[in-house]
Amino acid sequence: MVAGLSIGGTALAARPVVLRALLAGVVLLLCAPLFGVATPARADTPGARLTVSPGGPLRPGDVVTIRGTGHTGCPTGRIDLIGYDARLRTNVEGADRLIAADVPLDPDHGFTVRFTLDPPVYVGVQGFRTLCTNRGAEPFTPPLAQTTFDYPTSEQGNPSGFPAPGPPPADLASRRLVVEPADAGPDRPVTVWTDLRCGPATASHNGRLLWDGRFVTTFYAPAEPAGPKAVRVHLPQTPARGTHRLSVVCSSAEARFGVVDAGVVLDTQVAFAPVTFTLSAPRAGGGDRIRASGAGFTGCAVPIDGAPAEVALRRGDRVVARVPVGADGRIDAELTLPAGLPEGPTELTAGCAAERLDGTVRFAFTVLPDARTADALAPRPADRADSALDLPSPGDLLDHPGPLVVAGAGTALALPLVGFAAELFNRTIEENRHRIRRRLRPGAARPRSMPRAPRLQVLVFVVLSALCTVAVEPTIGFDRATYALALSMPIAVPLTVLAYSGPAELYRRRLSRVRAFPQLIPGALVVAVLLGVVSRTAHLVPGYVYGLFLAFTHAGLRQLPAREEGRATALGACALAGLGAAAWVWRIPVERVLAGDDSPAFGLLLAENVLTQIYIAAMIGLVFGLLPITWLDGQLIWRWNRWAWAAVYAVAVFLFLLTLLDPTGVTTGATRQMWMRAVWVFGAFCLVSVGFWAVFRLRPAPPPGPPGPWGTPSGPWGTPSGSGVPEPVSGVPGPATAPGSGVPRPATAPPPMPNVPPTVGRSSPPPPNPGL
């Protein structure tokens, strides 16, 4: 009985001990995460991993790259990247730091984020983890993946925010929450100002900074002393553009703990400018040049690790092109589509080329056949010349403003460049006229005479013009297109010459009463051949045909002042420019009729070629014929009035750059080829002028020898010019007789001739014949 009582008493006594042990175990289990004895929170997806670069300890201001892989456990397809205090071994939100929000996962369930590291709340072992976006409001959400890094204990933590960089905003008292600067972008540092007043104790004096309702960081916001608080943070990286809500609240919402602003939520808005990206053409093929423009790519604007700030244009996973980004996030550049893209409608995406998180733009695009393939396979009208097909119409100039701006800028740069080069060229000729004449035309100058068979020269001129025009055409053959082009020249070229030389000749004839006759200009023929060779070798369409190698000559019988010569030439240049512009406009109805007719009449083809060649010959003739150098008509206007020359030449150069240097750029908006060819054309003229000047500058004329005893310059061997008798050289006695005679040479020069009244000579008129 005792034994039984003893046993029963022992059981009764052990029961409270067990209960106490169980209670203590539960308490330890619940408190273990706070004391670091529990295991770390497990990953929701065992295959998810995070890789941190660079390795080793990280310090504030370091640019960190986080690469995630295997994130298959997130149904939203987007994750948030968070920095946390690894010593706590659990998801304690008070020590977290939101780094990136709404990061999209790629098709391989990975992502890459590059950011600038902010100081953590506390120092020591820190880490990064990923959580699903829109994960809910549960306080201890298991992370998808996490990793740790060392934060040196010598670095400063940020439990209460750094000191403010300046005085608080003036409107803080009324707004209570202000962000400076207000236009900062993703991953840009900002100062958050607030006068939030939380509790007086350690457990209740902290505030919480929220980004679209998600925790960003904690900061020190005691009730006393009252005043403004400043928090320095980098805004989270996010591709979501538009307006975001930035909020501050007290960590404790219980007023009974002395929290002054218990339950108060202070909000402000932070606007991320939306990214924009457009192409100048909605369709293009491989090899085509397109202009790209955009704005708002502030996240891509900062170079990282030596990589340039660029935006990549992608088709799926393939990078189609890259364009540079300005410091303000703007884009304005040209790109060339690569060959081999699948043809047809597709979707292109523009986003950061480097591993930075920024906004993206998706838009529809149509890939055409490659440029070379299109040229070979596209059915071009067989009856129309390539020069007529490629010459843009006036209406095409309104599609894209880029070529207009580039042509205007090129004209403004070409005028002073051409003026300088021409002045250098002309001055070199004036200073070395006799040397040039001796080298090019030894002996006496031939007297000018009237041209022989002027009508035959006109016929030769027309034939040569037609041959030059047909020669620069890329596709020639025995077909209707070539026949129409060849027959158009006997009409277009005489009209061009008549428009240029006719008004000028009438003006000169009215002033001088001297008639002139047409004559071929050999030097201009050389220019025409050179331009034809350049057009053929460089595959320029339309080709450059210089047709002003027929002029009117008067054999030196007409003497007009420079002012009148300049006016006459300017009159002809204006008439030629007007004819070219009229032909360009008249092409519009003819082109429309031909575009809708599969088998056009030969007359329409001839009319299109006539109008096209008139415009091309007018522009080429004005640009190259009005160069203000000796032997060209531009020198006549230059000597008369340089402002008049600049006005006429500017119009010609503008249309030349816009329509003939790169005709396809007018329709696509590309300008790079126009710039390159303009630099080549006018730069070549400048280099030729400088080279011409350098030849005579580096090889000056030989100095004349010492004068003879009678003031006659001696020759190279001590002989006077034109004499075969030796002259005395320095230190050598001369002959005893005068040159060419046996008379002894006088010791001194002969005296000057006396002044004698003029006598009747050959220059006087003959006396009258009394027998008449």
Residue 294 has pLDDT above 60, yes or no: yes
| Among candidate residues 520, 509, 601, the one with its CA nearest the CA of residue 557 | 509
Output the pLDDT for position 477: 57
Residue 172 has pLDDT above 50, yes or no: yes
Q: Which helix (H) or strand (E) holds 179?
A: strand 177-180
* Residue 554 tokens, joined: 């008067």
**Mean pLDDT of all residues in 12-28:** 49
Q: pLDDT, tens digit, for every residue of 655-679?
A: 888 777 766 656 555 566 666 777 7
| Among candidate residues 305, 315, 311, the one with its CA nearest the CA of residue 344 | 315
| Among candidate residues 242, 247, 281, the one with its CA nearest the CA of residue 261 | 247
Domain 41-132 listed as CATH 2.60.98? no
CA distance readout (Å), 680 to 410, 657, 665, 685, 686: 12, 12, 17, 9, 10
Where in the chain do CATH 2.60.40.10 domains reside?
171-272, 276-376
In sequence order, which ranges of 295-400 are alpha helices (DSSP H)? 371-377, 386-390
Look over the chain and give the mean of its residue pLDDT values, rounded to a whole number.
72
The band of 498, judged by pLDDT with boundaries at 50, 70 and 90, is confident
The residues that bridge with 720 in the sheet, in sequence order, are 714
Output the pLDDT for position 468: 61
Measured in whole angstroms, the distance separating CA 550 from the mean position of its chain's CA atoms is: 41
**Mean pLDDT of all residues in 118-129:** 74
Output the pLDDT for position 579: 92
Distance (Å, whole) CA 313 – CA 322: 6
68 within 8 A of 145, measured Cβ to Cβ: yes
Residue 98 has pLDDT above 80, yes or no: yes
The band of 440, judged by pLDDT with boundaries at 50, 70 and 90, is low
Residue 752 has pLDDT above 60, yes or no: no
CA distance readout (Å), 645 to 191, 378, 461, 616, 720: 60, 44, 27, 20, 48
Q: What is the DSSP letter of 174?
A: H
Residue 683 has pLDDT above 90, yes or no: no
Residue 222 has pLDDT above 60, yes or no: yes
205 within 8 A of 182, measured Cβ to Cβ: no
* Residue 383 tokens, joined: 């009856």
| Omega cis (within 30) before 189 | no
The residues that bridge with 366 in the sheet, in sequence order, are 283, 345
Residue whose tokens read 């002027």: 454
Distance (Å, whole) CA 739 – CA 168: 106
CATH code that applies to domain 276-376:
2.60.40.10
| pLDDT top residue among 630 and 123 | 630
Output the pLDDT for position 761: 39
The band of 267, judged by pLDDT with boundaries at 50, 70 and 90, is very high
| pLDDT top residue among 260 and 529 | 260
Ramachandran region of residue 12, left (φ > 0), alpha (ψ -120 to 50) or beta?
alpha
Percentage of residues in the chain having pLDDT higher than 70? 63
Q: pLDDT, tens digit, for every residue of 337-372?
A: 888 788 888 889 888 877 667 778 888 898 887 654
User: For residue 538, how many other CB atoms are within 10 A of its CB?
Assistant: 12
For 238, residues 6+ apart whose C-beta sits below 8 A from its C-beta are 100, 101, 102, 103, 186, 244, 272, 357
User: For residue 138, how many other CB atoms are within 10 A of its CB?
Assistant: 8
Measured in whole angstroms, the distance separating CA 714 from the mean position of its chain's CA atoms is: 63
| pLDDT top residue among 253 and 14 | 253
CATH code that applies to domain 171-272:
2.60.40.10
**Mean pLDDT of all residues in 134-144:** 64
Q: pLDDT, tens digit, for every residue of 562-611?
A: 888 888 889 989 999 999 999 999 988 888 888 767 778 888 888 888 89
Q: pLDDT, tens digit, for every residue of 445-493?
A: 454 444 555 556 566 656 665 566 555 555 555 667 777 777 777 788 7
In sequence order, which ranges of 67-183 are alpha helices (DSSP H)? 172-175
Q: Which amino acid is at 384?
A: R
The residues that bridge with 267 in the sheet, in sequence order, are 247
Which of 81-95, 258-272, 719-733, 734-748 has the weakest average pLDDT? 719-733
| Among candidate residues 46, 48, 120, 129, the one with its CA nearest the CA of residue 89 | 129
